[in-house]
Structure 1
Amino acid sequence: MTLSTDLMELKEDRIRAQYAQAEAMLEGFDHTPRIARKTEPDRVEERSPGLGTRRRFRSTTPGLVTRSTARPEGVQLANRILESDEDVLTTPVQASVLRALRRSLSVAQVASDQFAEQSGLADLKRKNLARTLDPSEKTRFQDLLKASALIVLHVFANMSDFLLAELVSETHETETQSGDIEEILIDNDQLALHGVLWELDQEIAAGVSNDAELVAVIRSACEQIMEKVALRAESAAHLDAFNAAHYRVEADNFDITGFTPAARAKSTTLTMAFKKPEEVVGNHIAKYQAMKLAKMLMAYDFQRKLNPFAELGGFIFTFMGDGKPGTGKTTLIQMMAGLISEYCNNAGYAFRYQNLSTDNIDSYQGKSGQNAKAFIRNIIDPNVIGFGTIDDIDQLAGKRGDRQSSAGQLEITAVLMESFAGANTVVRGNCTFGMFSNYPENVDDALRQRAGARFLVDGPQSREDYIDILHLLMGKNHSIPVGDHDLFEAQAIKKAVAASYDKHARPQEDGLIRVFEKVRADIGDLDTIAKLGTYLKAIQEADERFTGRAIKNITDAVKVRAMDFELPDAWMEDPDLFLFKDYDTKKAMIADLARPITVDMVIQEINRYADSEFRYADKSDEVAIENAVREMRRMEEAKRRYMEAGRS
């Protein structure tokens, strides 16, 4: 898991210098397809208003196609676009499409040139042209050419989709989509671009008849290109520098962040009923951390594409909320989403919320994984503030080794594990993911440990909590007196949180209490790093699942405690006070509020995390025992009935 801090601007003069070459490519070039062999498909007319039009394609299976569709005079994409409408005059949309493609081709070539200079590919190209390339450098040269081709393809498709998104409002809605984009060639930059431009020419020739279809087909093709290129890039060499860098085209407000699509920053329309913090009774630590996290997200800097909290430590990228049914997990989600939505509205930021639900499990192989990847991409978009939730994750993500887990559930587990703590995971601090479950013991151990923070959602606990929640839910249509009770006094957040943290000075679970007492008896108070490490090792000996990842999660939680402050409400209400400051100023303002780490903090966070693991293990064991007992009883009953049937 890495942080991205590099920011490089692609200079406008270098981009414009590529215009002539881009225009020449749009005007015409020769290309004989290597992979694709498409024929012009039939089109399906729109059957009724409101239903989109989708093109049908004849099979592209090798051996079933009888002829090539490459035109003798070559690929003339500019003319093809201008001929896509019956109007003899060029439409504004056609002109905008051509300008967008020219701009995208130019930016893609500049990004490729930048990569060539940084990686040494430019030197190898010069040697190759001079015929002085050493044979020992040939493999590296070919690998770098492939990496460069992947970059130029993704940047071209990414920016084309980004620029054409502006034209959607100028054209009527259509569901027209491109066919399968197959001509993805990565031998070198020029061949790569020729292949996808040939594909665009074929798609438009297949029957685009108006501006709306033209934009929709090109955007659909670009989305496919990005997806296929990103998939190949996962196994390609020499792309680490490109993945870690952040390029910006200032004139277009366009950012290149590795192989992540730079979609226009659009908010989702939320229909959920938001809850205010005072409407959440109990769950003091969970509520407090959710409130802090909502404000942490707002510190994200859209220019730097990084959050100061992610750099300073203390940012929660993933968390798990667990508790019994009816203890307030949904209310907590509604509260946190409501806070972020309100803050984003004040600042004018795009906010995107999405829940990954059981509806995303599909019977088709690979489709569940695709749904999960789309969910992740939607939330991590660096141009928005994102909040993704996975409710009832024990039902959605399969537990490896569990025979009852479907293939679709296991696909989702694999995607979430890679996305939350994989080699290519980049934490920018613009989004967070919350996993919620009534039965966290049924969640795969490795996936559960990817939750950097634990929110115990245990609902109302004290007498005062139950009085408060009764009064809150009763509403105002009554005259029943409150009685001897100060309403919501117990919900005073700082006082309640302090008491909740103090509880964890000692463990809560029986198994962990025994470990804690034994270590204390052997070595005394846990007041040094060595003694704390001894305690951690003792926990690992009691529960082998308590690995290095658990230690990382604990230390991350301790860093969160070091940032144990809420950003002032005034900073959220008036964006000029904080949100609109430059990155370095925001970072300094946050650093001034930080507090030092203490031994008490470390012990409390060790106990909080370890308590949750022991609680999950105990529940998991109990469930396994209950299932085994139930199975034994069934077998006994089956034997009894079998014997009775034999005697009769």
Structure 2
Amino acid sequence: MSQTSDQMELREEDVVKHYAAALRMLDGFDHAPRIADARENPVAEKSSGVGTRRRFRSTTPGLVTKRTARTEGVQLIARVESADQGDGLCSPVQASVLQGLRRALAIALAVAEQYGDRTGLADLKRANLEGSLPSGKKAEFSEMLSAEALISLYVFGSATAFLLASHATEDTVEVGEVEEVLTDNGQLALHGVLWELDQDIGSFATSESKLVATVLAFAESLMAKVAARASTAPRLEPFTAASWRVEAEGFTVDGFSPAHAAKSSKLTMTFKKPNEVVGNHIAKYQAMKLAKMIMAYDFERKLNPFAELGGFIFTFMGDGKPGTGKTTLIQMMAGLINDYCQVAGYPFRYQNLSTDNIDSYQGKSGQNAKAFINNIIDPNVIGFGTIDDIDQLAGKRGDRQSSAGQLEITAVLMESFAGANTVVRGNCTFGMFSNYPENVDDALRQRAGARFLVDGPITRDDYIDILYLLMGKNHDIPVGNHEVFSAQEIKKAVTASFESHARPHEEGLERVFDRVNKDIGKLDTIAKLGTYLKGIQEADERFTGRAIKNITDAVKVRAMDFELPDEWMENPDLFLFKDYDTKKAMIDDMRQPITVEMVIQEINRYADSEFRYADKSDEVAIETMIRDFGRQEEAKRRYLEGKG
């Protein structure tokens, strides 16, 4: 990939000349910890997510004093080579980690050198060594050294994460906050974090996969800590205003923004084929369409024609009763995208945000959610993020049962899905799934641009098909008078499903629909449709402008009511590898005109879901109040009996 015009090349010779210094750091140096506590006998991690480091420490100015600390010998090469339970030889994975660390250190030193040359820090260093530094320059010199330290640390963390990304496995490690962040100068700063990395490897790297996970977790934690510190530090403008590229790896340095390697997830889930999803016709159809829509993403333009034309689903919510097929739908959609990406050679990244990401430590749950979002929206990959059982994961504001961690996740998801800085490129989509969507925060639920009602098998044919499917082949029971899977013919089933929404399904919405039709007649103009929307809002005050936007987005998706041909996915040259403008023109030619029937159906589909959620939410609230009243009466009875 060629470098962009605003990037400067970090020449290979400028990096390689720092190899010797980087290797000396890995080979061994002495460091007396000034902030973090040394662990006398680092022990293996006992359970996932339980670290041994103190999570919080005082940051009150003036309370951190110089302490007498034992000098610690840091030998990272030896430490890494011991991460395989005593094998005498260095393994390929260990060698890759050490090579990655050396390369990352060399890149960090090279960028710090560039900063020194651009700002005059190099001249001040020489003057300081010669004892000729003017007294009026001492404050400036100190600030520049601190800036150099922050730059060195961030570039080291970013380069380490980038270079070792391809070695990541499903193993994860929680290393906690990086504490030994020193800003006296670049070299001391690197010594401090390497000392702490040595401690973490000794504590957590009980296997090769844990070794890689530990180093990657440390790099991510280091970047977060340094970026926060840099937000208020002076003298960084020459660094943040510039951009460098290391051509050999395609690694970029762009201020305090992490560089992401275009790596795929290693998926272990069982994929499902569309014919193995019985019922759920609209949800299945839209999931299949969306899987192909994502593949139209243009990696050069960093944009999807569907996103520009207005037919892309960035967020959706799938709801239904337990056992109706939400997990199967996820497996089907992930499998389709995975297969398409393998054919095209695109990196695909799938991740699920689960209840494991709720942490008792303040701010950590939000960090986990933000890391999940950043991992999926990475413009260098095709991404699919799911949030299963979102009613358990994201807290409902105002609900006393919601924990602080759940509310942190809610805030991150709301800001990420429809915040001021949200950019929809069309390379990824997020699916929220729940058996109890009425328990999801109203504002978060309305950030789902599309609604997939996952209602499972409905008709007699559906139940015959699912029985046939799940019975397998180890029997000779005749099928009988039934054509297997004919009812699952997607176009036929979807057309019937959409047409069924010509009238509302929910009783409360039906009353609004009939009243408006009686008052103003057939809904065949924009004005009459707007009157219907106002009537819905009067019946449910939560039906706001965001609901109208979601409905119009869904209508635009219906205008794209076509599936990209299978052969376009099987032969990338026919579509996927075309330039952006050609792909956009090909899609535009297939668009259909928007009709009144489409608009009415999408209004009813969306409003039905809101009325369904409201009815469930009200019923749950009523049942809760009944239980509370019963407890109060029983408590009063026991109290009076006790007094008597």
Q: 1:176 to 1:430 in 2, by over 3 A?
A: closer
TM-score normalized with structure 1 length: 0.75
TM-score by length of 2: 0.76
The 5-angstrom pairing of residues 281-300 of structure 1 reads: 281-300=278-297
Amino acid at match of 2:321: K
**1:581 Cα deviation from its structure 2 partner:** 2.9
> How much does 1:567 deviate?
1.3
| Per-residue deviation, 1:101 | 3.3
Aligned to 2:64: 63
Match of 2:260 among 262, 274, 284: 262
SS in 1 for 2:411: helix
Relative to structure 1, is the Cα distance of residues 10 and 156 closer, same or farther in structure 2, using a 3 angstrom cutoff? farther
Q: Deviations over 1:239-280 (max 9, x none)?
A: 9xx99999976542335688354145132231x322211111
Q: Deviations over 1:421-450 (max 9, x none)?
A: 222333232222211111111111111111
Residues 324-359 of structure 1, C-alpha deviations (whole Å, 9 max, x = no match) = 122211221121122122222222333332222223
Correspondences of 1:194-593 after superposition (within 5 Å) = 196-197=189-190, 199-200=192-193, 203=196, 221-231=218-228, 251-254=248-251, 259-263=257-261, 265-270=263-268, 272-593=269-590
CA distances 1:395-417 after superposition (whole Å, capped 9, x unpaired): 22211111122222222222222
Q: How far apart, CA to CA, are the structure 2 residues paired with 1:449 and 1:275? A: 29
Mapped partners of 1:276, 1:548: distance in 2: 37
Alpha-carbon distance change, 147 to 398 in structure 1, aligned in 2, over 3 angstroms? farther
Would the aligned equivalents of 1:9 and 1:249 in 2 still touch at CA under 8 Å? no
Q: Give me the whole-angstrom Cα distance separating, in 2, the residues matched to 1:82 and 1:364.
A: 33
Counterpart AA for 1:298: M
- 8 Å CA contact 2:354–2:388 kept in 1: the answer is yes
Task: Say whether 1:597 aligns with 2:601.
Answer: no
User: Offset of 1:153 from its aligned partner?
Assistant: 6.5
CA distance in 2, matches of 1:158, 1:400: 35
Shift of 1:58: 13
Corresponding residue number in structure 2 for 1:103: 107
Identity, in percent, stands at 65
Counterparts of 1:542 and 1:83, CA distance in 2: 70
String of CA shifts for 1:504-557, please: whole Å, max 9, x gaps.
Answer: 122221222222223333333333333322322222222111112112211221
**Aligned-residue RMSD, C-alpha:** 5.0
Counterpart Cα distance in 1 of 2:296 and 2:510 = 39
CA distance in 1, matches of 2:432, 2:14: 47
Q: Which runs of 5+ in 1 are unaligned?
A: 1-6, 72-78, 123-144, 186-190
Whichever residue aligns with residue 161 of structure 1, its letter is A
Instruction: Report if aligned partners of 1:178, 1:218 keep a CA contact under 8 Å in 2.
Output: no
Structure 2 alignment gaps of length 5 or more? 25-30, 82-94, 121-144
CA contact (8 A) 2:200 2:214 kept: no
Q: Distance in 1 between matches of 2:186 and 2:107?
A: 14
**1:197 Cα deviation after fit:** 3.6
Q: How many Å separate the matches in 1 of 2:333 and 2:212?
A: 37
Q: Give me the whole-angstrom Cα distance separating, in 1, the residues matched to 2:76 and 2:264.
A: 28
SS in 2 for 1:504: helix
Q: Deviations over 1:614-636 (max 9, x none)?
A: 11111111111122223333434
Deviation at 1:586, TM superposition (A): 2.6
How far is 1:232 from its partner?
6.3
Taking the aligned partners of 2:174 and 2:361, their CA distance within structure 1 comes to 23
Structure 1 residue 492, shift from structure 2 partner: 1.0
Residues 154-197 of structure 1 show CA distances to partners (whole Å, capped at 9, x for unaligned) of 5553234313557889xxx9989797245476xxxxx8857744
* Aligned pairs, number: 591
Contact 2:278 2:465 (8 Å CA) reproduced:
yes
CA distance in 2, matches of 1:398, 1:630: 22
Change (3 A) 1:285 1:279: same
Which one is further off, 283-292 or 351-360? 351-360
- Write the distance in 2 (CA, Å) between the matches of 1:397 and 1:51: 22
